[in-house]
Amino acid sequence: MANLDFYTTPLDVNDTKIFGTADTAAHFAKVAGDNASLQRILSALQRGPVHFYRNNVIALDEDVADYLLFVVTGVVRSCKICKKGTRSVVSFYLPGDFFGWVDAKLSLSIEAATDTEVLFIKRKGLVALASQDVRVANVLLTAATNELARAQEHVLLMSKSAKCRAATFLTDLWVRLGKAQYLDVPMSHQDIADYLGLTIETLSRAITDMERSELISRVPSQRRLILQNHFGLRRVMN
């Protein structure tokens, strides 16, 4: 845990808080399902929730080797800075997402894309439990394969046009956030552009273009959108 200096709120590994808010429990249920005993097991292994401010580093590979992460609130990004100074965002994690299968060779860093609260779950403890409880093993395998499916979709997206990438991203985000009336985009355009392999300017033009075509509209609030024409969006997405 040498790298915990990076943390905004230092993580005290001896401080096991039992999470208590209904909100947290509801999100946590996404991982454990309605299996109450499994939820108890997982909650006993957790550390946190730990709060991070936007753009702070949550973990580097070394940390992720020790912990699996669970997002309670906010958005987490995993990204890679390459030597040239360019950044790629590999994945976004939203509330309820359970992740941490990071290959050390990739040297990704896990960062807060917004202010966020994250649970840390000791990997070793969970793996040990998995050997005793099939359900735990299934939770792990399911989480890993879900993340794989997302990564494969991301690969497919990267060979499409800018407009298609933007439309797909916004629609997927809208679905992941629960298909609310408004899509309050939580992360910056720069984060999205780095996720989609575009420049911020190209992303902006793509969004403006969709607005002009009345596929989406912008509510004059910070980053609030309405997906107006789902049929049209689907056409742009291919």
Q: Which residues bind DNA (CB under 7 A)?
A: 161-163, 188-190, 197-205, 207-208, 218, 220-223
| Nearer CB in complex with a copy of itself: 83/212 | 83
Is 216 within 8 Å of 170 (Cβ atoms)? yes
| Nearer CB in complex with a copy of itself: 27/154 | 154
Long-range contacts of 133-138 (CB under 8 A, 24+ apart): 133/38, 133/41, 135/35, 135/38, 136/38, 136/41
DSSP 127-149: HHHHTT-HHHHHHHHHHHHHHHH
94: which DSSP letter?
A: -
| Nearer CB in complex with DNA: 136/167 | 167
Is 58 within 8 Å of 108 (Cβ atoms)? no
| Nearer CB in complex with a copy of itself: 111/117 | 111
Q: How many residues does the chain have?
A: 238
Q: Which does 220 bind (CB under 5 to 8 A by kind): a copy of itself, DNA, none?
A: DNA
* CA–CA separation, 116 and 72 (whole Å): 7
Q: Which does 2 bind (CB under 5 to 8 A by kind): DNA, a copy of itself, none?
A: none
Rounded least distance, CB 119 to a copy of itself, Å = 20
Residues that bind a copy of itself (CB under 8 A): 80, 82-84, 88, 90-91, 101-103, 105-106, 108, 130-131, 134, 137, 140-141, 144-149, 151-156, 158-159, 197, 238
